[in-house]
Structure 1
């Protein structure tokens, strides 16, 4: 269930996605929030340089592995504008991060890509829980998903 605190962080993730798009990257943004409510890391997509692994969720997983204890990681929440791709979901699972809350789902993104004439993703579009069966996830958020769709529409 997405509550008011979750929604506030999701709004920030969508703002980061817009920053990415404005910087000529794909519109994805994420943040890591620890159990005490502190935002520990914010990042956005950075694939325009040619390295398509520069996803914010992957960066968060790497940062968390270096800076948080296993307990802190498992109690943290990742907020993201779009549901993790399989690469990012695997990284999330491997480092033992906690809950994931997303504004838009990977299924929505696949549908929008078709509607908007965007190229298909080079990897399968699958739910996080297919990659990380024990993951705790919430999303999408209907209103914010429409904002994310509008960002993808601007890519065309």
Structure 2
């Protein structure tokens, strides 16, 4: 993996994510922190931000990674699911221009689950500090190598999880209902 191709100057928000990671460890959590910054589309000025840290051990939740936690916070407070394009009047919190967007700052390169969550949240810019190789070093021991290897394999060749597929009489009912009912709340769409 070559990180020089994506190298950028450090930012205060990335430093804040790293501070949160250190505080997390000092308080019994994992060594990861994340910040989401909401910025104005026209000016790029920061409107607001959210900060969180890894809470896996403290909450007994294997999905409570810093990036997931801060996405949950921002999305809930804003009342939106697309943090990449937030329209004025759509969000619960005010903004002066018609559109805004969010940027993710993470103390470390996000794991496969977190990078997926960042995509699902519509966030189009990510900046991180420590690499996945830094996180995997002896004494730190947060390696995602097995997950990356497994995701590259077809289901039938996966070694750590048995995956099965079966059709049922109702396996498409929820999709059909969603597709055919205009009253169902959609997400990811610009409000009319």
TM-score, structure 1 length as denominator? 0.66
1:118 matched to 2:118? The reply is: no
CA–CA separation in structure 1 for the residues paired with 2:64 and 2:34: 12
Contact 1:61 1:97 in 2 (8 A): no
**Partner SS for 1:19:** helix
Residues in 1 aligned to 2:52 and 2:148: alpha-carbon distance in whole angstroms: 22
Q: Determine the C-alpha separation between the residues in 2 that align with 1:123 and 1:58.
A: 20
Tell me the distance in 2 between the aligned counterparts of 1:16 and 1:119: 18
Name the counterpart of 1:80: 106
Residues 34 and 72 of structure 1 are in contact (CA less than 8 Å); yes or no, is this contact kept in structure 2?
no
CA distance in structure 1 between the aligned counterparts of 2:8 and 2:49, rounded to whole angstroms: 20
Query: Unaligned 5+ residue runs, structure 2?
Result: 1-6, 40-44, 88-99, 153-192
Q: Residues 51 and 104 from structure 1, CA distance in 2 versus in 1: closer, same or farther, beyond 3 angstroms?
A: same
Change (3 A) 1:12 1:119: closer
SS in 2 for 1:80: strand
| CA spacing shift, 1:117–1:58, aligned 2, 3 Å | closer
Q: Are residue 15 (structure 1) and residue 19 (structure 2) matched?
A: yes
> Which 5+ residue runs of structure 1 have no aligned equivalent?
131-156
Q: 2:72 aligns with which of 62, 78, 86?
A: 62
**Could you tell me which residue of structure 1 aligns to residue 31 of structure 2?**
27
Structure having the higher Rg: 2
Q: Are 1:10 and 1:101, in contact at CA under 8 Å, matched by a contact in 2? A: yes
Secondary structure of the structure 2 residue equivalent to 1:116: coil
The verdict on how the C-alpha distance between 1:125 and 1:23 changes in structure 2, with shifts beyond 3 A counting, is farther
